[in-house]
Amino acid sequence: MYIQQIYTNCLAHAAYYIESDKEAMVIDPMRNPEPYLKLAHERGATIKYVGETHFHADFVSGHIDLANATGATIVFGPRATPGYKAYIAEDGEVLHIGKVKIEVLHTPGHTLESVCFLLYNDTGEKHAVFTGDTLFAGDVGRPDLLSGNLQKEELAAMLFDSLQNRIKTLPDETIVYPGHGAGSACGKNISSKSSTTIGEEKRSNYALIINDKDEFIAAVTSDLPVPPAYFFKDAFINKNGYESYEDVVKKNINALSVKEFKNVMQHDVVVLDTRNPMDFAAGFIEGAINIGLNGDFAVWVGTLINSDAELLLVTEVGKEIEAVERLARIGFEKVSGYLQGGMTAWFAANMRYDKILTVASNDCESLIATENYELLDVRNRREVAKNRVAGSVHIPLNLLTTQYTTVDQNTKWLIYCAGGYRSMIAASYLKSKGFHFVASVEGGIKDLLVHAPQLIAEEIDM
């Protein structure tokens, strides 16, 4: 028996490859089928099943493309109603790959069709459970996504029953392989651990410690972050089907000269600059939004940009295909083209460009005092509760698109986050909305704590 986790950092997502006696099952694959095809080929195995724990909201799954490429059967659990050919397994039904078996456990709560896949080893013992978004290390799946006509409290009640009756009853030594790690918006307190055990979660996971249903419902439905807008589109795509990954990437890779790029800009498009924040700050196309490939690219694109928007890309030279592929993972498929030669070509053509001031942490105090800058904190609520710069305004980055109008666009804003990635996103977004004076703190609150601790306020209640 062989198990491999395939982790995608920018979405904090885990897919799984399980193999026995040259037969394999892939659980919750990402949209690009190549990593799974390559792994099976290298190991001389045949992919027999592609298991989906639920209709995913945070990415476009690769189940259809992988099944088409291998002839594998797509497997969902009870209450799934996909718009394409798939096998709907019953609760408790057993699938066989090689010498091992995998039991389908219906665990509604995150969604109605959510299942976990329980793996028995070749001696018939319960070895591991692949929990999708039902159970994470340190957390459980949020019950406010894809609920149909149900309230989040109703789904939370189902989740409580699923955890109590199907998950907590498993042997303590059972390995838990979750669908996500820290940073995913599918939970609110997910650990960074790549795996855990039933026993460890029963001891430390706040949601599994609670044995009262009403208390559980209150705990898991409170303090939920606003889900990125693209979640609902991706869930629809995963349920109803999609154009092949290869065709989407091929269609979206279009090199544009400076002249062609400028002409397309005259239409209703979003210029997305995927370079790192400091390179972007030194010179960018006016109106461009910076979301760097070096950070949580997919999540912030899906949060700040409409999923139906036409995109024009500016990337580091050689990163064009990567940008298109990572957009396709979350269902962003309308890329009109990319700037051939990147910003070097733009500068060489003597085209207009803009800049954003970046400020070292030890220069912030004097800038605030002498230039009348006000502070804008774009971290999330929990981060702000730990520490903040005294007197700063707080707008979490995930709410900036709806709340930027609450602050004055003529004020000088000094923006900070944890390390500088999100603050540059925010600065570029505000610039695109007509804000005249924005600057970003290099190194964010991490550097401020070291070089300007006098600016930091005490912990606060949020």
- Which tokens sit at 39? 């792994």
Q: Three-state SS for 210?
A: coil
Residues 108 and 205 in one domain: yes
Among 198, 231, 264, the domain-final residue is 231
CA-based R_g, the chain, Å:
24
Query: Reduced to 3 states, what is the DSSP secondary structure of residue 112?
Result: coil
- Please indicate, yes or no, if residue 239 is contained in any of the structural domains: no
Task: Let me know if 391 is exposed, middle or buried by CB neighbors in 10 A (0-12, 13-18, 19+).
Answer: exposed
Structure confidence by residue, pLDDT tens digits, 331-346: 999 999 999 999 999 9
Number of structural domains in the chain: 3
Looking at the structure, tell me whether residues 129 and 266 fall in a common domain.
no
Same domain, 225 and 112: yes
Residues 219, 196 within the same domain: yes
SS3 225: coil
Q: Are residues 153 and 98 located together in one domain of the fold? A: yes
* Nearest CA-CA partner of 11 in 305, 236, 329, 419: 329
**In the beta sheet, which residues pair with residue 295?**
none
CB 427 within 8 A of CB 406: no
124 and 24 co-located in one domain? yes
Q: What is the spatial distance between Cα 263 and Cα 216, in angstroms, rounded to a whole number?
A: 55
Residues 304, 331: one domain?
Answer: yes
Do 159 and 259 share a domain, yes or no?
Answer: no
From 200, 231, 262, the end of a domain falls on 231
Question: What CATH number is associated with residue 42?
Answer: 3.60.15.10
- How confident is the model at residue 460, as a pLDDT? 52
Residue 238 in any domain: the answer is no
Give which of 55, 116, 119, 108 is closest to 86, Cα–Cα: 55
**114 and 156 inside one domain:** yes
My answer on whether 303 and 382 are in the same domain is no
pLDDT at 317: 97
End-to-end CA distance of the chain: 48
- Give residue 148's pLDDT: 61
Q: What is the CATH number of the domain that holds 412?
A: 3.40.250.10
Residue 117 identity (one-letter amino acid): F
Would residue 208 count as lying in a domain? yes
Task: Evaluate if pTM is beyond 0.75.
Answer: yes
Characterize the bridge pairing of strands 46-51 and 139-140.
Answer: unpaired
Q: How far apart are CA 119 and CA 130, in angstroms?
A: 8
140 falls within a domain: yes
Q: CA-CA distance, 351 to 69, in Å (whole number)?
A: 45
Q: Which two tokens stand for residue 250?
A: 């091929």
In a domain, residue 124? The reply is yes
Q: Note the maximum CA span of the chain.
A: 73
Ramachandran sector of residue 200 (left: φ over 0; alpha: ψ -120 to 50; beta: rest): alpha
| Counts for the chain of helices (H) and strands (E), in that order | 18, 26
**Residue-range definition of the domain harbouring residue 100:** 2-231
- Residue 95 and residue 49: Cα distance in Å, rounded? 9
pLDDT at 27: 98
Axis-axis angle for helices 34-42, 63-70 (nearest 10): 40
Q: 462 in a domain, yes or no?
A: no
Residues 6+ apart with CB under 8 A from 202: 168, 172, 208, 209
Q: Is residue 13 part of a domain?
A: yes
Q: What angle do CA 225, 227, 233 make, to 5 degrees?
A: 175
Q: CB-based contacts of 182: which residues, under 8 Å, 6+ apart?
A: 12, 190, 191, 192
pLDDT reported for residue 69? 98
Sheet strands (E) in 274-429: 289-290, 310-314, 335-339, 357-359, 374-377, 388-389, 393-394, 412-416
- DSSP for 27-49, please give it: ES-BS--HHHHHHHHHTT-EEEE
SS3 54: coil
pLDDT of 189: 83
**pLDDT tens-digit map of 143-192:** 998 656 789 999 999 999 999 999 999 999 999 999 999 988 888 889 99
The dihedrals phi and psi of 309, each to the nearest 5 degrees, come to -70, 145
Same domain (yes/no): 81, 27: yes
Q: Which residues in the chain show pLDDT less than 70? A: 146-148, 458-462
For residues 276 and 129, state if they share a domain: no
Q: How far apart are CA 183 and CA 453, in angstroms?
A: 27
Signed CA dihedral, 35, 229, 401, 416: sign only: negative
Last residue of a domain, one of 320, 348, 376: 348
Q: Which of 75, 99, 106 is nearest to 88 (CA)?
A: 75
Six-digit token pair at 423? 């603050």
Tell me whether residue 215 is in a domain: yes
- C-alpha 143/C-alpha 77 separation (Å) is 18
CB 193 within 8 A of CB 137: yes
